[in-house]
Amino acid sequence: MSHDTSTINTGATPAASGAKQNKPWQVIVASLVGTSIEFYDFYIYATAASLVFPILFFPSADPITALLSSFAVFGVAFIARPFGSILFGHFGDRIGRKGTLVGTLLVMGIATFLIGCLPTAANADGSINTNMTVLAPALLVLLRFCQGLGLGGEWSGAALLATENAPANKRAIYGTFPQLGAPIGFILGNLLFVLLNYTLTEEQFLTWGWRLPFLVSAVLVIIGLWVRIQLTETPAFQKVVREDHVVKAPLVEVFRKSWRAIILGTFVMLATYVLFYMMTSFMLTFGSTPTTDQAAATAAEAGTAFDAATHVGGLGYPKTDFLLMLIVAVVFFGIFTLVSGPLAEKFGRRKMLLSVTALIFIFAFVMTPLLGLGHTGVQTQLIIGMALMGLTFGPMGAVLPEYFPANTRYTGSAIAYNLSSVLGAGIAPTVFVALWSAGDGSPFWVGVYLAGAALLTFVALLFSKETKHNDYTNESVAA
């Protein structure tokens, strides 16, 4: 792979060879804490998009329409993420990883806090705030865009922080720690939602309780900022500065020199995104939607008309019960994320990911029969899906950065990661709901969609090279 030769001196003080280095515990904690907070912020929105926002921000006589509107706003962040990758990637490759990561955390944290302060288009009792029916959703869209902007630059910076500080032959292991932020953030955010659901009445939850997870994020952001400010710059970026190889325009250079790596990285990550948002956003909606029999019984009890032909049935679990089932499954996500690092070091990134992607393809067709086996089958489906998620997501912290040279690594890995988020996650929740509705309540076609994504990822991996032996210490970005 050819590397950049168009460089500048930024005026930064070159790091001496004996410069202070980050301790392993500092690297692990900073990459883990930061991404845990970022993903906590992101996933509390995902949960609210399923449980709260359709009612409060998109009041509609048709629940499916309201749900689709809520998930459409959910997708706005994925549109924003490539812009975040360009913006923060530029600064990450120009001024360094450390300062840029402070910026991503601030953008994401402030936007999340402000979502908790928004007025709503409807009240808990179903009454409409007529002067807010346009403004409230518009403000939600704006803040959701800002959330995506921050996360667009967060992941790649955290991955570089971990892997560029990693000892030899341990990049994949260190790279799993920022990845571990995803299950930790999910568990923290959703445990808080479960706690609120159990301690508050539905009216209290819809009136003010849903705001608390967003407001609490301010405390977590302060903690994350304190940890990151203690760090020194990564050795790889210090070397780039010392050798005057900082590029003038990282975006231009990465597309000129590494366009093939961007395409491959985008599709290598595709199945991971589709799998995760199927297992979280969609399954939460599907699992907590009443069955046709339950909906008919509720309508009969209320004395209202019920049209079975228009009702799209789910599994019928209470929302908090299904959230707990998801949280149990996400524990396996975390465990297998950690397991994936040593496996990727032993067998190589490419061989391992090819095997896991093949298993995801098989799982796509097994999931529907499992969901028909009652509670045990549903929990088994969730655990298997999340275990596969850990195995495919864990190595990405090392794999995507390894596709790019040090002086465009932040920009390149961020763009690939976030372009994949647009293709694999931005539209997925909306497509899942549409396929579920078209399938008369069966998730079979949702599984087919996942299988298609796995096939595309498998092909991208076939065209990729093994990156395990890339040498960060002695690499020359001007070669």
pLDDT confidence band for 264 (50 / 70 / 90): very high
391-402: pLDDT as tens digits:
999 999 999 999
Query: Which of 46-50, 174-178, 208-212 comes out lowest in average pLDDT?
Result: 46-50
Query: Given pLDDT bands bounded at 50, 70 and 90, which one contains residue 306?
Result: low
**Torsions phi, psi for 128 (to 5 deg):** -100, 135
CB atoms within 10 A of CB 372: 12
Token pair of 177 as six digits: 């720690």
Tell me what the mean pLDDT of segment 429-458 comes to.
89
Q: What share of the chain has pLDDT > 90, as a percent? A: 40
Q: Which two tokens stand for residue 104?
A: 């991503």
Mean pLDDT to the nearest integer, 360-387 = 95
List domains and CATH numbers for the chain: 22-462 (1.20.1250.20)
Residue labelled with tokens 């667009």:
152
Between CA 251 and CA 113 the distance in angstroms is 31
Distance CA 187, CA 156 (A): 22
Q: Is the model more confident about 127 or about 402?
A: 402
What's the distance, CA 291 to chain centroid?
A: 29
Q: Taking 70 as the threshold, does the pLDDT of residue 310 lie above it?
A: no
**pLDDT (tens digit per residue) in 328-372:** 999 999 999 999 999 999 999 999 999 999 999 999 999 999 998
Average pLDDT, the chain: 85
Angle CA 24–30–33, to nearest 5 = 130
Q: Per-residue pLDDT tens for 239-250?
A: 999 988 989 899
What confidence score (pLDDT) does residue 475 get?
Answer: 66
Give the CA distances from residue 90 to residues 69, 97, 155, 409, 411, in Å, rounded to whole numbers and listed in that order: 33, 10, 14, 10, 6
Token reading at 441: 């309540």
Spatial CB neighbours of 149, under 8 Å, sequence gap ≥ 6: 80, 81, 83, 84, 87, 107, 108, 111
d(CA 34, CA 158): 7
In terms of Cβ atoms closer than 10 Å to its own Cβ (0-12, 13-18, 19+), residue 48 is buried
Map tokens 């892997």 to a residue. Answer: 163
- Angle ∠(177,181,182) on CA atoms, nearest 5: 125
Q: Using H for helix, E for strand and C for coil, what is the string for the chain?
A: CCCCCCEECCCCCCCCCCCCCCCHHHHHHHHHHHHHHHHHHHHHHHHHHHHCHHHHCCCCCCHHHHHHHHHHHHHHHHHHHHHHHHHHHHHHHHCCHHHHHHHHHHHHHHHHHHHCCCCCCECCCCCECHHHCCHHHHHHHHHHHHHHHHHHHHHHHHHHHHHCCCCCCCHHHHHHHHHHHHHHHHHHHHHHHHHHHHHCCHHHHHHCHHHHHHHHHHHHHHHHHHHHHCCCCCHHHHHHHHCCCEECCHHHHHHHHCHHHHHHHHHHCHHHHHHHHHHHHHHHHHHHCCCHHHHHHHHHHHCCCCCCCCCCCCCCCCHHHHHHHHHHHHHHHHHHHHHHHHHHHHHCHHHHHHHHHHHHHHHHHHHHHHHCCHHHHHHHHHHHHHHHHHHHHCCHHHHHHHCCCHHHHHHHHHHHHHHHHHHHHHCHHHHHHHHHHHCCCCCHHHHHHHHHHHHHHHHHHHCCCCCCCCCCCCCCCCC
CA neighbours closer than 13 Å in the CB half-sphere of residue 236: 32
**Mean pLDDT value of segment 280-309:** 78
What are the residues facing 7 on neighbouring strands?
A: 247
Condensed to tens digits (0 to 9), the pLDDT of residues 8-42 reads 433 333 444 445 677 787 888 888 887 888 778 77
pLDDT of residue 425: 78
Predicted pLDDT at 298: 75
- For residue 315, the model assigns a pLDDT of 86
Greater pLDDT, 64 or 205: 205
Token duo for residue 167: 């000892």
CA-to-CA separations, 293 to 115, 296, 433, in angstroms, rounded: 36, 5, 20
- Greater pLDDT, 49 or 445: 445
pLDDT at 216: 87
pLDDT of 287 > 60? The answer is yes
Which of 62-76, 178-192, 411-425 shows the lowest per-residue confidence on average (mean pLDDT)?
Answer: 62-76
Q: What is the pLDDT of residue 477?
A: 56
Question: Do 236 and 472 contact (CB within 8 A), yes or no?
Answer: yes
Q: What is the pLDDT of residues 81-96, one digit of tens each?
A: 889 989 999 999 999 9
Q: So what's the pLDDT on residue 261?
A: 95
Please tell me the least confidently modeled range out of 139-148, 154-163, 436-445.
Answer: 436-445
Mean pLDDT of 414-438: 85
Cα 347 to chain center, whole Å? 26
Which residues lie across from 122 on neighbouring strands? 128
- What percentage of the chain exceeds 70 in pLDDT? 92
Cα distances (angstroms) measured from residue 271 to each of 173, 326, 354, 385 = 21, 20, 11, 12
Residue pair 215/113 in contact (Cβ under 8 Å)? The answer is yes
Instruction: Tell me what the mean pLDDT of segment 63-80 comes to.
Output: 76
Q: Are strands 246-247 and 7-8 parallel, antiparallel or unpaired?
A: antiparallel
